[in-house]
Amino acid sequence: MADLPQHVDIHEEGPREGFQIEPGPIPSTEKIALVEALAETGLRHIQVCSFVNPRLVPGWADAEAVAGGFRPKPGVHYTGLWFNESGLRRALAFRERLTVTGSISLSASDAFSRKNLNRGHAENLEAMRKQTAAHLEAGVPVTRLGIMAAFGCNYQGDITPAQVVQTVADGLAIAGEAGVAITDLSLADTMGWATPIRIERGIGAVRERWPDLRIGLHLHDTRGLAVANAHAGLRLGVTKFDSTVGGLGGCPFAGQKGAAGNICTEELALLCEEMGIATGIDLDALIEVGRLAERIVGHQLPSELIRAGSLAAFRRRVAA
């Protein structure tokens, strides 16, 4: 048996990922209700909105209403997402409520970078240099490096560990030039290509070169392997995961209409808690929030656990 971590940090991205992809207009009040309910489950990190161009992502046209509307709970870190200086400025308007930190975001797949950002890897490096400078100028710390498509890509195919290592090196070089220290590396399985063996190899290659970087995983359940991939990460000592309640999210990429979204927070929390890894989450409360998320979006979400119920609930029933 591997040495599993004693504790993991789960970053809940359900509101941001979920509401950006839902077709129907969802009232800001319901988005706020979900954010506030999540904060009552023991989650400590919640991404509440995306400061993106409302013409591109109509589901987040009300980012300001949500970021300014929820009642913050002490001890919970709320975050937003942005991709450019305009988004950064919008986020900074909520600096009292949101934890505003900067990321260097790269893709291990040049083809994905071109499709998703409309610029190749070299141009993206230049854009990230500028964005890092803009963050620092605004007094926003830059401590995180995110690598998209780290395990495979619909537009490029398989991604090798060497490609991931090179992309991480490129990102760390940008940080070095800017004089900032990256402490957190996030490897994202953006299009659901990861398998446990690819997780092991990708993380292994990065660890070998940078043993002190804290590695997090951003997993999608596109092909049903997300929980197995999370388990592979836990075995390697990964202690930070992004996830979405109910499995909110869905997949916007080529050929995968209707495919699943991110790994479900409640299934990830069940996996951890049942193996003795603390999450700080009240799983039964979180399952109720998953059911609330289903009511808000008005259709079934991928989470199996919100239908089955926790094991703790059955243990209480047996004991009664």
Asked if 278 interacts with its own copies (CB under 8 A), we say no
- What x-and-dash track marks residues 99-118 binding its own copies by CB under 8 A? ------------x-------
The size of the interface with its own copies (CB under 8 A), counted in residues, is 56
d(CA 179, CA 181): 7
Asked if 197 interacts with its own copies (CB under 8 A), we say yes
User: Is 251 noted as a catalytic residue in this protein?
Assistant: yes
Least distance CB 166 / its own copies (angstroms): 19
- What x-and-dash track marks residues 5-44 binding its own copies by CB under 8 A? ----------------------------------------
**Are 156 and 190 within 8 A, CB to CB?**
no
**Are 261 and 21 within 8 A, CB to CB?**
yes
Length of the chain equals 320
Residues 149-168 that bind its own copies (CB under 8 A): 152, 154-158
Least distance CB 216 / its own copies (angstroms): 18
| Buried-state track 49-62, b at ≥16 Cβ within 10 A, e below 16 | bbbbeeeebebbeb
Cβ neighbours, 10 Å, residue 232: 21
Least distance CB 196 / its own copies (angstroms): 5
3-class state of residue 140 by DSSP: coil
Asked if 173 interacts with its own copies (CB under 8 A), we say no
Least distance CB 211 / its own copies (angstroms): 19
Question: What residues form DSSP beta bridges with 4?
Answer: none
d(CA 87, CA 34): 23
Asked if 192 interacts with its own copies (CB under 8 A), we say yes
3-class state of residue 175 by DSSP: helix
d(CA 246, CA 153): 25
Binding segment for its own copies (CB under 8 A), chosen from 26-34, 171-179, 205-213, 268-276, is 268-276
Instruction: Give the closest residue to 49 by CA, choosing from 23, 84, 14, 3.
Output: 14
3-class state of residue 245 by DSSP: helix
Asked if 232 interacts with its own copies (CB under 8 A), we say yes
Using the structure block, give the residue that is written with the tokens 């399952």.
Answer: 287
Asked if 139 interacts with its own copies (CB under 8 A), we say no
Residues 49-88 that bind its own copies (CB under 8 A): none
Element (DSSP H or E) covering residue 101: none
Q: Which of 9, 85, 200, 282 binds its own copies (CB under 8 A)?
A: 200
Asked if 300 interacts with its own copies (CB under 8 A), we say yes
Binding site for its own copies (CB under 8 A): 1, 4, 111, 152, 154-158, 192-193, 195-198, 200, 221-225, 227-228, 230-232, 251, 255-260, 264, 267, 270-271, 274-276, 300, 302-305, 307-311, 313-315, 317-319
Q: Which residues are catalytic?
A: 251
